[in-house]
């Protein structure tokens, strides 16, 4: 069984959409159990509408909910220990749940997650990682909003954590990693990015394959499995991609309704347009993962539909099932404690025949 804690009061729509999303995820993954945190007068009537979810859930009544307009500092002051968001996170800390999901205030969720779970050893700043649909399938992009102006060492940490996430979700043994830059030439870009490229190249870390710099158009191409950037550029890229997808969708809808012949053409191409709509649907890959903490927290879009929230729950389920946290811990331990080449040295030692002596 995989236990997921959910902040029922987060997001634009509250428990009605969140519980409906949990029901969709449960139907697809019957081994899920829920720890749910909310205000009982608003949540219990909704839970009564979904008996299958209620049967595998433990509901916890809380004193207050963090609003979407609360500043992170305000949320910490008034909501620490008492809010639905804090208690959903704390369920991961104390071992009640494997992963926490919230559609609430991003800044408050990050602040509370850092305060409650703390960052992992050797990680100074966490990152938010997003699944990015590409021509080749999917890739991981981080950071998309947690750490602005990351330095070279932090970018390297993001690369290590992103590669571990790619192994956990995509099953890629040695993920390719690229640094987002304004050009692929080594002389271009900010000093922090160039230094991070040098660190990755020199590290020869066995858990990833450093592919050098990538540009903005490589995000959609799927040139690498993991794209690393700092939070300011990553968040702008994410919002731009989401906006462009909606823009193209509106263009297509308008074009298909302009003339009688266009409407006839749409009838013949309905299945093709349905597949395109599915690929461009942001809810299909909804959910940003907070990496670098002593526990897994997934941030759902505040305006996500039930299908979108279900996607965030399923992302958390996959990461718990595939041991994301252990993979990140092992990679960081290998890099910082045993040295970047330790895994490859151990692999060679294991293939030697006969006994060894010291």
Give backbone dihedrals phi and psi of 293, rounded to 5 degrees, phi first: -105, 165
Extract the runs of DSSP E, i.e. beta strands, from 86-175: 99-102, 127-133, 138-142
- Look at residue 217 and tell me if it is in a domain: yes
What CATH number should be reported for the domain holding residue 130?
Answer: 3.40.718.10
- Look at residue 87 and tell me if it is in a domain: no
Q: Mean per-residue pLDDT for 186-196?
A: 88
Q: Mean per-residue pLDDT for 302-320?
A: 90
132-147 confidence digits (pLDDT tens): 888 888 899 998 988 8
- Look at residue 84 and tell me if it is in a domain: no
- pLDDT number for residue 282: 56
Pairing of strands 209-214, 176-180: parallel
- Look at residue 59 and tell me if it is in a domain: no
Q: Global pTM?
A: 0.83
Residues 6+ apart with CB under 8 A from 108: 66, 70, 71, 72, 75, 76, 79, 85
- pLDDT number for residue 250: 78
Q: How many domains does the chain have?
A: 1
116-131 confidence digits (pLDDT tens): 999 998 898 899 999 8
Sheet of 288-291: strands edge to edge?
Answer: 57-61, 32-38, 2-7, 99-102, 296-299, 288-291, 127-133, 138-142, 226-228, 176-180, 209-214
- pLDDT number for residue 273: 62
The token pair at 272 is 């093709």
The span from the CA of 174 to the CA of 196, in Å, is 19
C-alpha radius of gyration, the chain, whole number? 22
DSSP-derived 3-state class of residue 96: coil
The Cα-based distances of 19 to 35, 101, 278 in angstroms read 12, 12, 23
- Look at residue 326 and tell me if it is in a domain: no
HSE (side-chain half, CA atoms, 13 Å) at 244: 7
- Look at residue 279 and tell me if it is in a domain: yes
Beta carbons of 42 and 48 less than 8 angstroms apart? no
- Look at residue 23 and tell me if it is in a domain: no
Most trustworthy range by pLDDT among 156-165, 186-195, 248-257, 338-347:
156-165
Range of the domain at 223: 124-291
- Look at residue 106 and tell me if it is in a domain: no
Residue 96 has pLDDT above 80, yes or no: yes
Extract the runs of DSSP E, i.e. beta strands, from 89-197: 99-102, 127-133, 138-142, 176-180
The span from the CA of 37 to the CA of 19, in Å, is 11
């Amino acid at each position: 069984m995989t236990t997921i804690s959910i902040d029922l009061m987060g997001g634009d729509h509250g428990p009605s959409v969140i519980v409906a999303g949990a029901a969709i995820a449960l139907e697809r993954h019957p081994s899920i159990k829920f720890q749910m945190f909310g205000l009982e007068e608003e949540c219990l009537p909704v839970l009564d509408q979904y008996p299958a979810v209620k049967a595998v859930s433990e509901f916890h009544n809380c004193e207050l909910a963090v609003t979407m307009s609360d500043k992170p500092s305000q949320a910490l002051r008034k909501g620490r220990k008492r809010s639905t968001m804090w208690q959903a996170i704390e369920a991961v800390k104390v071992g009640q749940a494997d992963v926490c999901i919230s559609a609430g205030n991003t800044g408050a969720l990050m602040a509370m997650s850092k305060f409650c779970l703390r960052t992992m050893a050797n990680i100074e700043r966490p990152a938010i990682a997003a699944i990015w649909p590409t021509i080749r399938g999917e890739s991981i992009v981080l950071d998309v909003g947690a750490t602005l102006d990351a330095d070279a060492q932090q970018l390297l940490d993001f690369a290590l954590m992103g590669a571990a996430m790619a192994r956990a979700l995509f099953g890629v043994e040695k993920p390719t990693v690229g640094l987002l830059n304004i050009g692929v030439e080594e002389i271009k870009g900010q000093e922090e990015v160039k230094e991070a490229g040098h660190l990755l190249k020199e590290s020869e870390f066995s858990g990833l394959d450093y592919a050098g710099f990538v540009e903005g158009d490589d995000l959609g191409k799927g040139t690498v499995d993991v794209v690393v950037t700092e939070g300011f550029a990553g968040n702008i890229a994410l919002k731009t991609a989401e906006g462009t997808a909606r823009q193209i969708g509106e263009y297509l809808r308008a074009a298909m309704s302009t003339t009688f012949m266009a409407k006839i053409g749409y009838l013949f191409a309905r299945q093709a347009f349905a597949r395109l709509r599915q690929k461009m649907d942001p809810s299909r890959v909804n959910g940003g993962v907070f990496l670098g903490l002593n526990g897994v927290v997934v941030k759902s879009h505040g305006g996500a539909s039930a299908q979108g929230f279900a996607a965030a729950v399923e992302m958390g389920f996959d990461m718990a099932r595939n041991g994301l946290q252990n993979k990140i811990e092992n990679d960081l331990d290998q890099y910082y404690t045993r040295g970047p080449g330790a895994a490859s040295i151990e692999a060679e030692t294991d293939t030697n025949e006969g006994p060894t002596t010291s």
